[in-house]
């Protein structure tokens, strides 16, 4: 299926260049010159990915990203931020806002397309078969089993759900509250401390294979599952 990519960028020349490259790559570009236009476009149809310029007139790209992460409809849509050189310092803020990746201007359309494809692949995580593999750690969704290489990993039910969520949402930071919503379900009353307890158990479960390193603490924010450590 053709991927719909929303480009939120106030510079028409960049927007046109990106749209041209996307179309050539078989994707469907949608334009927006500011946050307000982006929200209108998203109300019409939720895109598969958002390219979001950091510096926009009116609401900044970062604030828009934060807002999108709070709304049910757009929470899971991957975001690639377009930033100017010198704005790298704000990467931490961006990660906390739930941004998936960055591309620094000026960029080549080739580089941009490579990043788009990587983020789309990652966000699809579970490819529909329920099998997910990251760096040698594998989940067999239908069988509810976890494997490290070809060894079966004994795992508790909550740790399994937590790991499944992490592996299908790798490389993104989640707060304890977000993890409670996604893994425990929003209607259940559980203390945030519970998350830490199960994170600890999950790490212990994965420790014999050293995959515990993939379950990472992001100070002051929450947790992330990442293959790079
Ligand atoms: Ca701009």
Question: Which of 123, 111, 122 lies closest to 74 in space, CA to CA?
Answer: 123
Q: How far is the CA of 18 from the centre of ligand 1 (A)?
A: 14
Instruction: State residue 155's pLDDT score.
Output: 94
Cα separation, 196 vs 176, whole angstroms: 8
| pLDDT tens, position by position, 203-219 | 999 999 999 999 999 88
Q: Which residues surround ligand 1, an ion (CB under 5 A)?
A: 10, 53, 55
Are residue 57 and residue 141 in the same domain, yes or no?
no
Instruction: State residue 216's pLDDT score.
Output: 94
Are residue 115 and residue 166 in the same domain, yes or no?
no
Q: How far is the CA of 91 from the centre of ligand 1 (A)?
A: 17
Q: How far is the CA of 69 from the centre of ligand 1 (A)?
A: 21
- Is residue 1 pLDDT above 80, yes or no? no
Domain limits for position 195 = 131-225
Q: Which residues contact 97 (CB under 8 A, 6 or more apart)?
A: 62, 65, 66, 69
SS3 of 175, please?
coil
Q: How far is the CA of 171 from the centre of ligand 1 (A)?
A: 26
Question: Which of 148, 161, 171, 152 lies closest to 202 in space, CA to CA?
Answer: 161
Confidence bin at 92 (pLDDT 50/70/90): low
Question: Which of 55, 70, 122, 69 lies closest to 99 in space, CA to CA?
Answer: 69
Instruction: State residue 181's pLDDT score.
Output: 81
The CATH number assigned to the domain holding 168 equals 1.10.10.10
Strands (E), 72-148: 79-84, 101-105, 131-134, 137-140, 145-148
More confident of the two residues 207 and 75 = 207
| Domain total of the chain | 2
Are residue 112 and residue 35 in the same domain, yes or no?
yes
Question: Which of 204, 203, 208, 194 lies closest to 225 in space, CA to CA?
Answer: 203
Instruction: State residue 224's pLDDT score.
Output: 92
SS3 of 83, please?
strand
Instruction: State residue 185's pLDDT score.
Output: 75
How confident is the model over 43-51, as a mean pLDDT?
92
3-7, 82-86, 141-145: which has the highest mean pLDDT? 3-7
CA distances from residue 6 to 15, 24, 192 in whole angstroms, order as listed: 10, 15, 35
Confidence bin at 13 (pLDDT 50/70/90): very high
More confident of the two residues 183 and 35 = 35
What is the residue-averaged pLDDT of the chain?
Answer: 88
CA dihedral 49, 86, 228, 99 (to 10 degrees): -30
How confident is the model over 114-118, as a mean pLDDT?
86
Are residue 55 and residue 165 in the same domain, yes or no?
no
| pLDDT tens, position by position, 146-168 | 999 889 999 998 999 999 999 98
The CATH number assigned to the domain holding 58 equals 3.40.50.2300
Q: How far is the CA of 55 from the centre of ligand 1 (A)?
A: 4
Buried b (16+ CB within 10 A) or exposed e, 172-206: bbbbbebbbebbbeeeeeeeeeebeebbeebbebb
How confident is the model over 14-20, as a mean pLDDT?
96
Q: How far is the CA of 84 from the centre of ligand 1 (A)?
A: 9
Instruction: State residue 75's pLDDT score.
Output: 84
SS3 of 173, please?
strand
pTM as predicted: 0.60
């Amino acid at each position: 299926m053709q991927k719909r990519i929303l480009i939120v960028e106030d510079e028409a020349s960049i927007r046109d260049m990106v749209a041209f490259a996307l179309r050539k790559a078989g994707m469907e570009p949608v334009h927006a010159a500011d946050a307000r236009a982006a929200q209108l476009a998203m109300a019409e149809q939720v895109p598969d990915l958002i390219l979001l310029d950091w510096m926009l007139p009116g609401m900044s790209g970062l604030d828009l990203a934060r807002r999108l992460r709070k709304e049910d409809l757009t929470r899971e849509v991957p975001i690639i931020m377009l930033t100017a050189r010198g704005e790298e310092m704000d990467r931490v803020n961006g990660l906390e806002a739930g941004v998936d990746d960055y591309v620094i201007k000026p960029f080549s359309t080739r580089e941009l397309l490579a990043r788009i494809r990587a983020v789309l692949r990652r966000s699809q995580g579970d490819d529909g078969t329920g099998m997910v593999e990251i760096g040698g750690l594998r989940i067999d969704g239908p069988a509810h089993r976890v494997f490290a290489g070809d060894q079966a990993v004994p795992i508790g039910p909550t740790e399994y759900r937590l790991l499944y969520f992490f592996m299908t949402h790798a490389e993104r930071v989640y707060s304890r509250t977000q993890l409670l919503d996604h893994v425990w379900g929003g209607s259940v009353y559980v203390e945030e401390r519970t998350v830490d307890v199960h994170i600890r158990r999950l790490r212990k479960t994965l420790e014999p294979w050293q995959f515990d390193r993939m379950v990472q603490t992001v100070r002051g924010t929450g947790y992330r599952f990442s293959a790079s450590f």
